[in-house]
Amino acid sequence: MRKRIFEIIEISEDNDKLSSLYDAVMLLAIIISILPLAFKKSYGLFRCTDWITTVLFIMDYLLRLITADYKLKDHSPIAFVKYPFTPWAIVDLISILPTLAPINSGFKLFRLFRIFRTFRIFRIFKAFRYSKSIIIIAGVINRSKEALLAVCTLAIGYILVSALVVFSVEGQSFDTFFDAVYWATVSLTTVGYGDIYPVTTAGRVITMLSSVLGIAIVALPAGIITAGYLDALTEEKKNKPKE
């Protein structure tokens, strides 16, 4: 029975209809639970849906707790002790606490938990568990972490060098070195907010070079992740059993 529950609450690789339905319901609950964040006022409907979705999250947490031995592949009692401290279990708990915080304002403990109301946005991270595409992308990032780390190091180095150069050339436009780093980051990503900008010819030339090179540096991670994603999809299709 517990094994079947585990198969349902985890993303199924065999087109399990119950598992797909469970994932769809939980994704819908997550979307509904974060909708109130888009409104400044709190409405009665939002409080009602918040409690309903929180009950679903609690049930999901308990189901995952009682099947922790299958998740951690450890059939000893220690698995049930270790599971609450795993990253996904912590995200689940943080997703539940914002609603439970105001149950009784008379207790200092629950007053302390009110700070977790701001953590309601963490519920969006629960969606990652129920989306196969996001899981594939996470796997691609994990497999490509060395290449992405190299690109990240290149970008940071380029930002620091550009900041040092423009800070020495445009001393009157940048009050602090942090302003230069901010400018270099904005130029690297080709955003260009325009709140801080060079006024000399040399500074403008540096800005043009930074923007042009920034296009190439920013495009590298996208290319790495896209290529890895396509490879993962191709591999999944090859491994998928033919009907």
Encode pLDDT of 151-166 as tens digits. Answer: 888 888 888 888 888 8
pLDDT at 9: 84
Confidence label for 111 from pLDDT (cuts 50, 70 and 90): very low
Give yes or no for residue 108 having a pLDDT over 60: no
pLDDT at 222: 81
Domains 2-130 and 143-239 share a fold: no
Write the DSSP string, the chain. -HHHHHHHHSPPSS--HHHHHHHHHHHHHHHHHHGGGG-SS--HHHHHHHHHHHHHHHHHHHHHHHTHHHHTT--STHHHHHGGGSHHHHHHHHHHHHHHGGG-TTSHHHHHHGGGGGGGGGHHHHHHHH-HHHHHHHHHHHHTHHHHHHHHHHHHHHHHHHHHHHHHH-TTT-SSHHHHHHHHHHHHTT---SSS---SHHHHHHHHHHHHHHHHHHHHHHHHHHHHHHHHHHHHHHHSPP-
Quick one: average pLDDT of 15-38? 81
- Among 25-34, 126-135, 175-184, 205-214, the least confident range: 126-135
Q: Please indicate whether residue 121 or residue 27 has the higher confidence score (pLDDT).
A: 27
Give yes or no for residue 107 having a pLDDT over 60: no
Write the DSSP string, 187-237. HHTT---SSS---SHHHHHHHHHHHHHHHHHHHHHHHHHHHHHHHHHHHHH
* CATH architecture of the domain formed by 143-239: Orthogonal Bundle (1.10)
Quick one: average pLDDT of 122-144? 74
Amino acid of residue 167: F
Protein fold of 2-130: Four Helix Bundle (Hemerythrin (Met), subunit A) (1.20.120)
pLDDT at 112: 47
Q: What is the pLDDT of residues 214-241, one digit of tens each?
A: 888 878 888 888 888 888 778 777 766 5
Say what the pTM is: 0.58
pLDDT at 90: 85
Give yes or no for residue 146 having a pLDDT over 80: yes
Give yes or no for residue 201 having a pLDDT over 80: yes
Domain boundaries, the chain: 2-130, 143-239
pLDDT at 62: 92
Give yes or no for residue 114 having a pLDDT over 50: no
pLDDT at 54: 87
Give yes or no for residue 140 having a pLDDT over 50: yes
pLDDT at 113: 45
